[in-house]
């Protein structure tokens, strides 16, 4: 060991995770009162977010929504031309326990569990649940599910696949949820894999719009 190494303070040799530094910068930003100092803290935080090792996703932005839509579209397009979707939908509505179409319900649960698992359980990124809707529903989860379903149902309708063959309402809905299973997978992967997006959090944007 060189004499230079021996003079390095012990704290610099610790393996401190970058996310811990970002958290401390958040605290510092709240405590400083000078605008120039606050701007400097924000600049440093912005730089650190793109340093390798930063894996936490806190914000939910309009870019995240766009990524989810594109991912859902790409994953759903191959299924839109498959007639097998009609057969699966017919299976959903004809197999019931009493009035409950059990396979239709099971598919909905499957989509919810897979999407939630990819977001919060699988270690792609650490996705922080921040500012949940009504204090309960995670914004990103709701966003991914709604955007992917809109993408799936919208494309089915646009391409004339939703009502082809004069299906019942439940059968049409079943067709959409089959495509939704694939679209939700694409949406969640396209959202979280690139990491935290640039731009303002959607809550901040909405607050600014309503303030105006």
* CA atoms of 29 and 151, how far apart (whole Å): 39
Domains in the chain: boundaries = 3-54, 57-208
- Give yes or no for a contact between 176 and 149, defined as CB atoms under 8 angstroms apart: yes
pLDDT at residue 188 greater than cutoff 70: yes
Nearest Cα neighbor of 179 from 71, 69, 76, 73 is: 76
Low-confidence winner among 31-35, 69-73, 116-120 (lowest mean pLDDT): 31-35
Q: What is the pLDDT of residue 55?
A: 59
What's the predicted TM-score (pTM) here? 0.72
**Residue 197 DSSP one-character state:** P
Q: What is the pLDDT of residue 3?
A: 41
* CA atoms of 7 and 165, how far apart (whole Å): 79
Helix (H, G, I), strand (E, B) or coil at 57: strand
Q: What is the pLDDT of residues 40-96, one digit of tens each?
A: 777 766 655 544 445 577 788 889 999 999 999 999 999 999 999 999 999 999 999
Q: Which helix (H) or strand (E) holds 86?
A: helix 84-94
Q: What is the pLDDT of residues 143-180, one digit of tens each?
A: 999 999 999 999 999 999 999 989 999 999 999 999 99
């Amino acid at each position: 060991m060189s004499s230079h190494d021996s003079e390095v303070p012990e704290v610099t040799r610790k393996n401190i995770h970058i996310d811990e530094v970002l958290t401390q910068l958040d605290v510092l930003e709240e405590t400083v009162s000078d605008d120039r100092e606050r701007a400097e803290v924000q600049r440093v935080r912005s730089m650190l977010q793109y340093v390798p090792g930063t894996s936490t996703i806190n914000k939910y932005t309009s870019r995240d929504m766009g990524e989810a839509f594109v991912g859902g579209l790409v994953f759903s397009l191959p299924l839109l031309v498959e007639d097998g979707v009609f057969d699966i939908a017919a299976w959903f509505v004809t197999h019931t326990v009493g009035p409950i179409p059990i396979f239709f319900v099971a598919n909905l649960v499957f989509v919810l569990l897979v999407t939630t698992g990819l977001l919060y359980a699988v270690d792609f990124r650490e996705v922080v649940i921040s500012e949940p809707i009504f204090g309960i529903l995670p914004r990103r989860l709701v966003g991914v599910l709604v955007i992917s379903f809109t993408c799936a149902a919208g494309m089915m309708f646009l391409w004339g696949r939703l009502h082809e063959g004069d299906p019942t309402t439940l059968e049409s809905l079943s067709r959409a949820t089959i495509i939704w299973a694939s679209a939700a997978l694409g949406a969640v992967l396209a959202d979280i894999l690139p990491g935290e997006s640039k731009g303002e959090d959607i809550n901040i944007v909405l607050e600014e719009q309503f303030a105006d």
